[in-house]
Amino acid sequence: MDNKKTFDLETVYLDDENNALVIIDQTLIPIEVKYLHLTEQEDIWEAIYELRVRGAPAIGITAGYGAYLGVKASKAQDYESFYQEFKKVKDYLASSRPTAVNLFWALDKMDACVKKNKNRSIPEIIEALHQQSEEIKAEDVRTNKAIGEYGLSLVQPNTGLLTHCNAGSLATGKYGTATAPMYLGHERGYNFKVFADETRPLLQGARITTFELAQAGIDVTLIADNMASTVMKNGWVQAVFVGCDRVAANGDVANKIGTSGVAILAHEYGIPFYVCAPTSTIDMNCPTGADIEIEQRNPEEVYKKWYAKPMAPEEGVKFFNPAFDVSDAKYVTAIITEFGIARPPFDITLKQIMDKKAQENA
């Protein structure tokens, strides 16, 4: 295992000299920290689909680099031929996962880059795509730091925090989203005590969140998903921070399966439930959570993936394995973005956040 602390590891980066996208294979954590050097589009697609790279921001970064690498060696002689080649790469990568809006956001930014530079030479367009892909990652790092600062303003030192799944540094360019307040608080002596749900069936909380928080020196306790109610009832949790894969215009939030249960529990116990959401995950064209497509995954993840032998009968039993669920806006205390904190009514405040982003980027 690499001796570097997790916070210092780069989850996703571009090895331009060797025409490779480099990722940490998150399916191997915590047993091994292994870098994969991906040079084929099929391997990049597979890495996204199989969660070798995971977390909405990291998926977006991967998509940006993947789109650039997909056309880097283009032999197109004119813009129209080049754009058709790019569009094929874009559509292929977009088919890897349907729920994480960052995937489409990043690909759309790359698409806009091609169109913006249509009057330039093909090599110049390719270089523009290179620069755009690097900016997607740089923007993510800036975004996560800002989310961390806003999130930290909502909690006091020496408090208990709970998080579900992994929205940490390994899911992003750096800092994470839901873990960004934890990292920044740790640096400033806040002495947080973090409870991490295991997050079945893929165990991202157990395998990844506990791994990276422990490596950073943060006090972290692993609990099974069905223990969240108990630790809340015991008074050990003063705030919940989770990430998200998509935010609807009304404030409904899609995140890893099990998040909605945490939101309902937090509401019952009077604990604030904070969603850390880069504006790239806010989809103002999606009216409510009911409009979010939920990815259905291989049933074997539920009863077989982590076991030497199947833990359920393989015949006569049906399996249901949605990757995400939707937390209704009524259970969300606030949505923390890089442009500020949105509170109910979300249909108004999210629009204000997006308007602020548009003004600052104008």
- 245 catalytic per annotation: yes
Q: Which two tokens stand for residue 334?
A: 């606030």
DSSP-derived secondary structure for 243-282: --SEEETTS-EEEETTHHHHHHHHHHTT--EEEE--GGGE
How far is Cα 83 from Cα 239, in angstroms, rounded to an integer?
47
Residue with tokens 């873990």: 179
How far is Cα 56 from Cα 189, in angstroms, rounded to an integer?
29
Residue 100 DSSP SS3: coil
Catalytic pick among 245, 252, 283, 325: 245
Going by the DSSP 8-state scheme, the letter that residue 296 receives in this structure is: B
How far is Cα 133 from Cα 61, in angstroms, rounded to an integer?
7
The answer to whether the beta carbons of residues 168 and 213 sit under 8 Å apart is: yes
Residue 93 DSSP SS3: helix
Residue with tokens 């399916």: 27
Please list the active-site residues: 245
